[in-house]
Structure 1
Amino acid sequence: MESSQCVSSKYMCHPWRTVTHEVNCPVRVLPTTFNDSFNRFEIAHYIHAANRVAETVPVGGPMSCLMKIPQNIQLLFELNVPTTLERKSIGVVIGVNHDYRHIFIGFRSTNDLFQFIAQYVVFTMGWMEDFPLGGKMVAIYVQIYKDILNFGFDASLEQAVSLFPTYSLLVTGHSLGGAMATVFSLHVALRYPLKPVSLYAWSGPRSGDETFVRMLREHLTEQYRVVRDGDPTPDFPLRVSQTVPTPHHNTFEVFYPTHMTTDNYKICNQAESETCLKGSWWKTFFSHIFMFDMNFLNHQRMGYCNE
């Protein structure tokens, strides 16, 4: 923690809009490694590939997305994991970018209406559980975390690391995938403490408590949350009180106004603030699914990356 001076909300009639917890205190030094082009032309296609790990997607769907990346890409694993709580599934893709010398891990966003509803029911209940790595977390994410581990995630990643022992690790995803990328970034960092681990989470809801947020700060090499103005998802689970235990967002947020051009983003010095995450009063689902001039609406019958 680099500063003990927290910024209070300017909306005195809506005190929950700014988180006054010490994990939201501003930092003095912002990271310098964020690159808009890397997000726009690399991370986006990792996410598209992860969104096509599903039983209804034709063979080769994920690779059709990765082929749009000009670098030397190798797809290693596609894990379509059954989930216990809502009886659906979540996809995970593990691959390698040889030019950037990193192993990337992508998590699929919600592709089922029932899975979408299940998350918001859990949000509404305020249901949190102990997270195996420390602290508490939204219950549905704890269960999905366990489901993915039980499916053999560690064995797959270990094989990737053994093949490319000098490569760094990058974890990403959009929406539900953004939340699971955040969760697994800590898992990966603790499992491989000598490797640089980067997190690029897009449009994810809050996931873990202050203990989890502190652990992310301690163990990750870099962490970015990419948010578009008007996106309602990062506002969940809602904060109805400053005193009731709830999940927090992690730093650093990269906030884009409505038009996500290459030069108009802001790296925020707080995990949540009035000028960053909160953005405009209006919220639209459009802002959640359209990012960097691409459509990230995920549904069960997605085909190849042809756009």
Structure 2
Amino acid sequence: MKASLFLASALAATGLAAPSTSPNMAKRQFVVTSSELSKLSYWAEQAATSYCNSNNAAGDLIACSNNVCPTLVSNKAVTIASFASGTATDIHGLVSVDPVKKVITVSFRGSSSVRNWITDVVFVKSSCDELVSGCLIHTGFYTAWREVATKVTAAVQSAKAAYPSYSIGVTGHSLGGAVATVAAAYLRKAGYTADLYTFGSPRVGNEAFAAFTTEQSGDEYRVTHENDPVPRLPPISFNYRHTSPEWWIQAAVPTTSQVKICPGYASIDCNAATLGFKRDDHLHYFEDIAGCSPGGFNWKRAESNVASSDVSDEELESRLNQWVVEDVNFVNSNDLH
């Protein structure tokens, strides 16, 4: 993508952004314990399964190469259904059941071209007023969810009927985490208590969406890793917000002292204020989270297939860093803490 076209898109999106005040979020106490870290490690396995089980047939046992989901293999977790969006959104995933943990899981795979998404990121949103008034979601994530919503919802309904005492968890890594967030919002709206665990997810929608999703029934674990660039996009200054709270880990396999919890939809106290473009931070969440992907995780599509190949890593890092500076100034000047 040429810089002029990218800038035009950014300027157009700026018109959608407006200062907002922090809502009256429910007061919750968050404590980092070994038990919490074990839980997050388990859900990282659940997110990882989508990279190598998204073509499973109903009844297939979960299996992962490179030992990325040993707990699920040991527990004989089984596939309920798999699903895929269109080629434009490139989202795949599955619904599965872990009979030991007694959980129904919806897992969304991250896109295989995340660098291209970072390079070409646009800020257009779609209305989600069916969730809550004033709700807006990134059009790409909204489209991906709409393409798989019927199949996912039917699979969850079927699994819940078969296992009524089981809890429901929704998870995903990278862009899969974004679609998982949308899915959790709609499942919660439909009356399900769905826990949400995302790893390296970008921002998904505006404050109305983030607040609605956060305030519904179900646990909220939005995990980021040190200088992972993906959660810093799309920018806060373009009217995008995160769900709350953020669990910011400072190591791929952190101790309790290496985790900081940051509440708020526009927090700049954790990942949002970091600089740089660290690919490894995006790929390592308690494990090599995309480690069972056939052929490995492709950071970007073949350069011959993308218009964005003329953007160097240095240019991209500079652009991301500039947005971080703008976001910090935006949050401070509008008192969004």
Aligned-pair Cα RMSD in Å: 3.1
* Counterpart position of 1:192: 191
Counterpart mapping for 1:11-22 below 5 A: 21-22=20-21
* Counterpart position of 1:96: 97
Q: 2:244 aligns with which of 248, 251, 272?
A: 251
For 2:180, what is the secondary structure of its paired residue?
Answer: helix
Q: 1:121-162 CA distances to partner (integer Å, 9 max, x unpaired)?
A: 3x33x2111125341111101110110124x22221111111
For 1:129, what is the secondary structure of its paired residue?
Answer: strand
* Counterpart position of 1:133: 131
For 1:137, what is the secondary structure of its paired residue?
Answer: strand
Query: CA 1:292–1:74 in structure 2 vs 1: closer, same or farther (change >3 Å)?
Result: closer
Distance 2:166 2:211 in 1: 25
**Offset at residue 44 of structure 1 (A):** 1.8
**Offset at residue 63 of structure 1 (A):** 2.4
Q: 1:75-130 CA distances to partner (integer Å, 9 max, x unpaired)?
A: 1334231316x1x632222112233322111110112x3x7535753x33x21111
TM-score norm. by structure 1 comes to 0.76
TM-score norm. by structure 2 comes to 0.70
Q: 1:80 aligns with which of 79, 83, 91?
A: 83
Identity across the alignment (%): 20
Compare the two structures and name the one with the higher strand fraction. Answer: 1
Query: CA 1:256–1:26 in structure 2 vs 1: closer, same or farther (change >3 Å)?
Result: farther
Distance 2:31 2:22 in 1: 21
* Counterpart position of 1:159: 158
The amino acid of 1:37's aligned partner reads S
Query: CA 1:51–1:45 in structure 2 vs 1: closer, same or farther (change >3 Å)?
Result: same
Q: 2:233 aligns with which of 225, 231, 236?
A: 236
Compare the two structures and name the one with the higher helix fraction. Answer: 2
For 2:39, what is the secondary structure of its paired residue?
Answer: helix
Query: CA 1:80–1:281 in structure 2 vs 1: closer, same or farther (change >3 Å)?
Result: same
Counterpart mapping for 1:281-300 below 5 A: 281-296=275-290
Contact 2:72 2:98 in 1 (8 A): no
Contact 2:197 2:223 in 1 (8 A): yes
Query: CA 1:73–1:31 in structure 2 vs 1: closer, same or farther (change >3 Å)?
Result: farther
The amino acid of 1:76's aligned partner reads T
Query: CA 1:50–1:221 in structure 2 vs 1: closer, same or farther (change >3 Å)?
Result: same
Contact 1:46 1:172 in 2 (8 A): yes
The amino acid of 2:290's aligned partner reads F
Counterpart mapping for 1:16-35 below 5 A: 21-23=20-22, 28-32=27-31, 35=36
* Counterpart position of 1:203: 200
Contact 2:26 2:215 in 1 (8 A): no
**Offset at residue 300 of structure 1 (A):** 5.3
Distance 1:62 1:220 in 2: 28
Deviating 4+ runs (over 6 angstroms) = 24-27
Figure out how many residues of one structure are paired with residues of the other and give that number. Answer: 269
For 1:22, what is the secondary structure of its paired residue?
Answer: coil
Contact 2:83 2:152 in 1 (8 A): no
Query: CA 1:227–1:221 in structure 2 vs 1: closer, same or farther (change >3 Å)?
Result: same
For 1:51, what is the secondary structure of its paired residue?
Answer: helix
**Offset at residue 170 of structure 1 (A):** 0.7
